Structure 1
Amino acid sequence: MNMCLAVALVAAVASGAAVSAGTPEVGPRMSDAALFQALDLNRPDLAAVREAVASGDMARAKAAFAAHIRSRREPRWFIDPDARPNASGRPANPNTAEADRALRHEFTSVGISHTFGPTIDWAYNPTTQPGSPYAADHEWTWQFNRHGVWDALRRAYWDTGDEKYAREFVAELQSWVHDSPVPVDKADQAPYSRWRTIEAGIRMAGPWPNALYGFLRSPSFTDDALIDMVKSMAEHADYLMAHPTTGNWLTMECNGLFHVGVLLPEFKRSAQWREAAISRLRAELEAQVYPDGAQIELTPGYHNVALHNFVGALRLARLNGIQLPAGYQDLLERMYAYDMWAMTPDRDLPPLNDSWHVNVKAEMADGFSLFPRRRDFQWVATDGAEGTPPDHTSHLFPYAGQVIMRSGWDRDAAYLAMDAGPFGYGHQHEDKLSLIMHAFGSPLVVDAGSYAYDASEWRKYVISARGHSVISVDGLEEHRSGFPRQQYVVKEPVPIVHRFTNAMEYAAASFGEDEHEGFGPDRLRPVVWTRHVVFVKGRQHGSARPSDGPYWVVVDVLVPRDSAVHAYESTFHLACPDVAVSQQARSVVTKSTAGANIGIFPLVMPGLELEVVKGREKPTIQGWLPKGHGITGVVPAAVPTFRLKGAGRQVFLYVFSPARPGEPIPVTAVAPAEPASQGPNAADAVAATIHFSDGATHVFSMVLDEHGGAKEGPIVAERGSEALARDVAPAP
């Protein structure tokens, strides 16, 4: 046990806070005597408290300490308790709906609502009750205990001045503190816990300080309630000191610990809390952020969770004039830059792994406030009204293994993300080499995204390879999980071939070569799969011809390690559920009436089959998209599924052709072509003729090496004209 926590609990026991083995434990564990022992009573501003303690008058000491907390002007918080508006300054029609539900003890966690009676059971979970219509989801209890509803009560109190909101907060605070004593000896990360370390950190860095300062002037916030809150905050700090974890959790724990250390400087241990928190955060800026700026979980949403907690400590330190270690702020710049380079045209981030919607404009505004020389941050934050655009369009994250291709920075830009990196430190999906595509203001090829963290088959589907645009072998899906997660953190850039030019961009990577990569639960490695992606931007001369692009050519090469016949299945998840299918051409075209559309035109190889799966539950789930991160519910989605079977090397080639809203797909057909390379390399060539609606024809050609990489090319040329673009690269 951490020595500070041990001292605090021993003091509590010595003061009569302990209970017998058969008596329910209650909080706070810290007794009044232990509280005053923990305070630095030599501080001049605690003179009245010191005198009362010396005289043995605990009631007067508590009143004096509560009066001190109410009257102090430092430390500062982002809410000034004296700034609560009077009647004339309040909004005419405040939104108090969430706060009013809290008055009725009706709470929503992870999208699932439950109404308690007069007493709130803070360990309750409606999803695990007998007969529950929901799959078991322990996040319900955990996230309920983050106390986000207290922010709604505070806002309603400030907007209306009605004491009923303050009374409800005080009742909930005292109920929670009484029913949730801090764990002893070890962290409680189990189901039904009110003290997961992540929740402890989140509470201390937001909802609790907001409530402390927001209700501080309320007559309903009694001295007893205030003292209980301060005791519990100190217990939170000792608990977080004693039980650090790793990854994005650690950033939340340390941010919460730092907040208590800053906001309760009256405690003798406050300097230790601050120093431990900030030293851990400084070390984590090195340990869990790659040189390319990506956080090691490789989940853009959690990248920003970590970023917000690193920045949260920085902002509180600035507010209170606290110096942080050298280099702390500088190391944040690359995390903001990651958001900018990865950003989708709609100013979001690609939903890789367990990610969710991220407002990149808001992130860039924060980044620009910390790094005012980054005019590119300003440009994104203002949608181009101020600043300068980023100095290049497409970007490779060499450690994260994420490839971003884009035609420009406008909202109509063509955009592709390929996830070719390691499995990630946490929140992983089986999605290596999966693709995401946007064009003309619409998402077109999408990732399954994230789902509730429950035990449902839907959750299993979303994190599986079936929920992504990848290839399975002999009915077996990608499988990388099962190793200690530190093994998924790389020390060097991952093997990706890439070449970005003005006319064309190219990237290639493989699955099945790394020891962590295989197919099926036994992680079999019968095949190495290499995905080549070619982004044809066109001539860039401003012409509106359909053949001027943009479009993508994707080539999947499967090289077996044996001579057996293997069956391959390649899937792509479409944002639009309605599609038109041509079995003759094996092509699929989306039929959106509101946004852009995309056509997928494969090179028809002997034996190529096409099936569009939509809303299937048996024998395996396929053809669905989740409604959102952390919540239940799915909607049907169209998933074109291409199949090939054979021995030896097999190749899929597809052309992805996006079209503006209301316009026809520019590509009309893809057919075999003579390869550009003749002679001994011709047998290893892959070539296709791409026909466009304006009558133009492009020829794609590349020569493969024995491993499935590019030996020559790829080349894209307009028939009868010069090459549009050429790229020669070694095998990945």
Structure 2
Amino acid sequence: MKPSYPIMESSAPSDAPSETVFPTQSLLATPFAALTHAELLAHFRQRDLDNYFPLSAGKAKHVAGAAPILDNQFTLNNETHRLGEKFDWLHNPSPDLEWLILLHKFYYSRDLALAYDCSGDDCYANKWVALVSSWIEHVPDGFVNSQVTGRRLQQWLLAYHYFVPGRQCSAITAEFLLALLGSIQSQAVFLSRNLTPQGNHRTIELSAIFAVALLFPELSQSAELLAFAQHELLANLREDILADGVQKELSTDYHHTVLKNFLRVRELADLNRLTLPVEFDAVMRKALEFSIYAHKPDGWLPAINDGDINSYLSLLRKAQRYYPSDALSYVLSQGEQGKPPVQRSRLFADSGYCILRSGWAERPYADGRYLFFDCGQLGFGSHGHYDLLSFEMAAYGRSLIVDPGRYTYHEYDSDGVNWRLAFKGTSAHNTVMVDGKDQIAYQCHEPVGPQPRAAVLIFESNQGFDFVHGRALSPRYEVEHQRSIFFAEAEYWIISDLLLASEAHRYEQFFHLAPEAQGQTERLEAEQGHGIQAPDLLIAQARRAEVATSLEPGWVSSEYGVKHPAPVLSFSQQCKGSGWFQTVLYPYKDSAPALHVEAISVTSLGQTVPATQALALIIRIQSETTTYHDCFFVAHQPGLSEYHFADVICRAQLVFIRRDAEDGILSVRAYAAEWLEIGGRKLLDSIGKPVCLNYAKGRLQIDAIDGSVPA
């Protein structure tokens, strides 16, 4: 037996006071309440369309999309059910509540409206009227929850503008129009009394109230609703957008859902000559700035936390009308217009998101290298995945290491798998798992109890390199996970993971590859190190007997309810205490270079230091045209000691040296450095004053650093 679902009349506790109370009055304000039904129908048919969003023309694809709906066949979240002629709106034919939620959101209104616009056939208008009339008759306000009401109102308003203003649609009678307007006002008033406390749902709900009140001044409650929505929208914007411009749920997809709804508010206000506060636009510009950086060079957005894999460039094009900027023009035109953002790479300190990019001037633009590093918390609400210190990486127009997405919000396991957990858990992300445990005990909805914490300790973006160092702590185990990412010469990444502990633990490090790598992945030759060659990507670690390597089946979900097989590379080890991994991620275009990764010893005061204190690698890269011998050193422990490795002596946290095939030095990068000597040649003597050093093309530049930690 399929489940039915209870009515949730309020998202807040039943004893919570209403945010505003509207008196019971007639449906229409003066003088419209005095008009006859026929006069009202004529009034709404004759209204101008210039105060609503521009309507796109219907096409043949909309006629095809609407055809199944005429037969009550609904495909929602990639799951199809045919409902009876007089179906029960409160019964769910699917085990997934999201299916019923989408039925009540009425997104299919758009296909019906556009099919009518394309064909002029009244059957599509008749179906919309029948569905809306049935819903009004059988469903109380508030089913299933408030955000569903907000979405439904948005869809009803869209369809209304295809069927009523400027039309003589026979399906729209005066009686239906009054019933529609009555339900729209009733639902808007319900929302004003039952708003979701915070998050993207509240934004959607307030946006719907704002639209109803602004577009229907004839309704008796519109003036009060409009004042209420204006006040609450600004408060919602202040509350939900962090100081760095990222929406507080820390989902890239829901960030843009919120941005889209606030942009609708801005657009409707502009069309209706309504002035919004200056603060509204200031916060919107910050939110757009995050979007500019978050989009990958190929125009797609990583699905960090809940959401689908989407591109929101069309939304940014719309935003450009109201918030023009050189940076927006540059990204939208792929570098053909405008000017690039001032910073190449960027830390969004309040959210903990770091985005590392190669130069904005890359040509082709889509070939740029990109890495999104998540040093943030779980995020407000229930959309956070257990993914602290995870990342996504793209290069040369392809996503190479990916966040697998969300797949579902439902836990049913007809195939024996809780897919909500499978996509939300730590092992579904590009981070390190300790003892097979998620970073927090699994909850389908909002987390309960102490939460894991993450922080950015260092962020440095300089000539020829980026360096970010983050830390994560979980309440489920004693291990402190530190991860640093070094972006070398805007070419490849070195990831250093340090797991600090006093007790025995098992550590597993995961790299989720894109579906295109399925069946196209090979292990590296033994002399190259541990790792794999995948399409456009080499992943390698120096060989260590204690580390096991495996390639396992995994999944990537690009949209709700759809998953694609994709390989997962893992490195694992059992340690009596602390452990570490150091991984080279080398993207390539067309043909793979020969890559060799080797660990070299590091000494201090004549003693070999443990890997938990400092690590050094030799990385040899040989392509058809170039040969590089790179040397990389990173010190994990605070405080500068004098270290020796290869032919280098240094007091620094980070050193990178690139040599050519003849051992000539091509570039040197160093961070938090006081002393640097290579092959007996002193490059730096700045004892007591840590600096950032860059040497390339015969030029040496030294910049002071303040050593501060981002707030």
Is the TM-score greater than 0.5?
Answer: yes
Is 1:231 the counterpart of 2:182? The answer is yes
Candidates 14, 38, 48, aligned match of 1:63: 38
Distance in 1 between the 2:136 and 2:621 partners?
68
Distance in 1 between residues matched to 2:637 and 2:619, nearest whole Å: 23
- The corresponding residue for 1:716 is 656
Amino acid at match of 2:212: V
Deviation at 1:100, TM superposition (A): 1.2
Instruction: Give the deviation of 1:701 after TM superposition.
Output: 1.2
Q: Tell me which residue corresponds to 2:672.
A: 728
Q: In 2, are the aligned partners of 1:586 and 1:609 still within 8 Å (CA)?
A: no
- Within the candidate set 256, 260, 279, 1:308 is matched to 260
1:423 pairs, out of 378, 382, 399, with 378
Give the partner amino acid of 1:157.
Y
Report the CA distance between 1:689 and its aligned residue: 1.0
The one-letter code sitting in structure 2 at the alignment partner of 1:580 is E
Alignment of 1:150-189 (within 5 A): 150-182=109-141, 188=142
8 Å contact 1:361–1:383 — kept in the other structure? no
Q: Does 1:625 align with 2:556?
A: yes
> 2 CA distance for matches of 1:489 and 1:430?
10
Instruction: Look up the SS of the partner of 1:181 in the other structure.
Output: coil
Contact between 2:260 and 2:315, CA under 8 Å: does it hold in 1?
A: no
* More strand per residue: 2
Query: What is the identity, as a one-letter code, of the residue corresponding to 2:620?
Result: H
Q: Which runs of 5+ in 1 are unaligned?
A: 9-33, 53-60, 128-135, 183-187, 539-549, 615-622
Equivalent positions of 1:392-471 (< 5 A) are: 392-409=343-360, 410-426=365-381, 427-456=383-412, 457-471=418-432
| Match in the other structure for 1:555 | 496
Alignment of 1:213-232 (within 5 A): 213-216=161-164, 217-232=168-183
Change over 3 Å in CA distance of 1:696–1:39 after alignment to 2:
closer
**Does the Cα contact within 8 Å between 1:586 and 1:610 map onto a contact in 2?**
no
Matches for 1:153-302 after TM superposition, within 5 Å: 153-182=112-141, 188=142, 193=143, 195-205=144-154, 207-216=155-164, 217-245=168-196, 246-302=198-254
The amino acid of 2:372's aligned partner reads A
- Alpha-carbon shift at residue 667 of structure 1 (Å): 4.8
Show the counterpart of 2:631.
699
1:586 deviation in Å? 5.1
Counterpart residue number, 2:272: 320
Instruction: Note the C-alpha offset of 1:571.
Output: 1.1
Once the two structures are superposed, residues 129-168 of structure 1 have per-residue CA deviations (whole angstroms, 9 ceiling, x without a partner) of: xxxxxxx310111111111111111111111111111111
Shift of 1:583: 7.4
Whole-Å separation in 1 of the counterparts to 2:564 and 2:540: 25
Give me the whole-angstrom Cα distance separating, in 2, the residues matched to 1:488 and 1:209: 43
State whether residues 368 and 375 of structure 1, in contact with CA within 8 Å, keep that contact through their aligned partners in structure 2: no
User: 1-side partners of 2:628 and 2:278: how far apart?
Assistant: 59
CA distance in 1, matches of 2:538, 2:431: 18
Cα distance in 2 between the residues matched to 1:244 and 1:215: 29
CA contact (8 A) 1:299 1:352 kept: yes
TM-score normalised by structure 1 residue count: 0.80
Range with bigger deviation, 273-282 or 643-652: 643-652
Structure 2 residue runs of 5 or longer lacking an equivalent are: 1-16, 413-417, 644-650, 674-706
Let me know the Cα RMSD of the aligned residues: 3.0
Task: Specify the SS of the correspondent of 1:447.
Answer: coil
Q: How does 1:589-608 map to 2 (within 5 A)?
A: 589-592=532-535, 597-608=536-547
2:93 aligns with 126
Instruction: Provide the C-alpha distance between the structure 1 equivalents of 2:629 and 2:158, rounded to a whole number of angstroms.
Output: 63
Contact 2:456 2:468 in 1 (8 A): no
**Matched-pair contact (CA < 8 Å) for 1:348–1:359:** yes
Report the AA paired with residue 521 of structure 2: V
Give the CA deviation at 1:305: 0.7
CA contact (8 A) 1:583 1:610 kept: no
Match of 1:19 in 2: none
Paired residue secondary structure (1:296): coil
Say whether the 8 Å CA contact 2:421–2:442 is kept in structure 1: no
Q: Distance in 1 between matches of 2:379 and 2:19?
A: 34
**Contact 1:440–1:660 under 8 Å retained in 2:** yes
Q: 1:687 to 1:398 in 2, by over 3 A?
A: same
- State whether structure 2 residue 531 is matched by structure 1 residue 588: yes
* Residue 574 to residue 222, structure 1, CA distance change in 2 (3 Å): same
- Tell me, in whole angstroms, the C-alpha distance in 1 between the residues paired with 2:113 and 2:654: 60
- Mapped partners of 1:268, 1:250: distance in 2: 23
In the alignment, the residues of structure 2 paired with residue 390 and residue 4 of structure 1 have an alpha-carbon distance, to the nearest angstrom, of: 43
Amino acid at match of 1:590: Q
SS in 2 for 1:657: strand
Offset, 1:589: 2.7
Deviation at 1:604, TM superposition (A): 2.2
Please give the alpha-carbon distance, in whole angstroms, between the structure 2 residues aligned to 1:508 and 1:174. Answer: 58
Percent identity between matched residues is: 26
Distance in 2, Cα, partners of 1:606 & 1:237:
65
- Mapped to 2, the partners of 1:493 and 1:678 lie a distance apart of 34
1:671 is aligned to: 598
2:582: which partner in 1? 653
Query: Alignment partner of 2:367: what SS?
Result: coil
8 Å Cα contact 1:438/1:445 also seen in 2:
yes
Name the counterpart of 1:350. Answer: 302
Deviations 1:543-572 (A, max 9, x none): xxxxxxx11111111110x2x322211111
Q: Is the 8 A contact 2:356 2:372 kept in 1?
A: yes
Contact 1:677 1:685 in 2 (8 A): no
CA distance 1:717–1:326, shift in 2 (3 Å): closer
Q: Give the conservation status (yes or no) of the 8 Å contact 1:430–1:480.
A: no
Return closer, same or farther for 1:448/1:275 CA change in 2, 3 Å cut-off.
same
CA 1:5/1:702 → structure 2, altered by over 3 Å: closer, same or farther? closer
Q: Does structure 1 residue 643 correspond to structure 2 residue 572?
A: yes
Tell me the distance in 2 between the aligned counterparts of 1:416 and 1:352: 12
Distance, in Å, in 1 between the alignment partners of 2:187 and 2:332 is 36
Change (3 A) 1:531 1:4: closer
- For residues 84-103 of structure 1, the aligned pairs below 5 Å read 95-103=62-70
What code does the residue aligned with 2:347 have? L
**Partners of 2:537 and 2:586 within 8 A in 1:** yes
The 2-side partners of 1:73 and 1:695 are apart by 68
Give yes or no for contact 1:399–1:494 (8 Å, CA) kept in 2.
Answer: no
Q: Which whole-Å deviations, capped at 9, do the CAs of 1:493-517 have from their partners, x for residues lacking one?
A: 94331111121111111111xxxx2
**Equivalent in the alignment of 2:8:** none
1:534 equivalent to 2:494? Answer no
Alignment partner, residue 619 of structure 1: none
Of the candidates 562, 566, 570, which is equivalent to residue 505 of structure 2? 566
Indicate whether 1:143 and 2:102 are aligned.
yes
Deviation of 1:359 (Å): 2.4
Residues of 2 paired with 1:266 and 1:731: CA distance?
58
Q: How far is the alpha carbon of 1:384 from its aligned partner?
A: 2.3
Deviations 1:656-699 (A, max 9, x none): 111112x02x3521112243866568443211111222553211
Assess if the C-alpha contact under 8 Å between 1:394 and 1:406 holds in 2. Answer: yes
Task: Report if the CA contact (8 A) 1:579-1:588 is conserved.
Answer: no
What CA deviation, in whole Å up to 9, does each residue of 1:378-422 have, x standing for no partner? 111222232122222211110111111111232101111110111
- Deviations 1:454-476, CA, capped at 9 Å, x for gaps: 11412211010011011122222
Output the amino acid matched with 2:630.
H
Question: Counterpart amino acid of 1:445?
Answer: I
Change (3 A) 1:367 1:489: farther
The answer to whether the Cα contact below 8 Å between 1:360 and 1:381 also exists between their aligned partners in 2 is no
Cα distance, 1:161–1:643 mapped onto 2, change above 3 Å: same
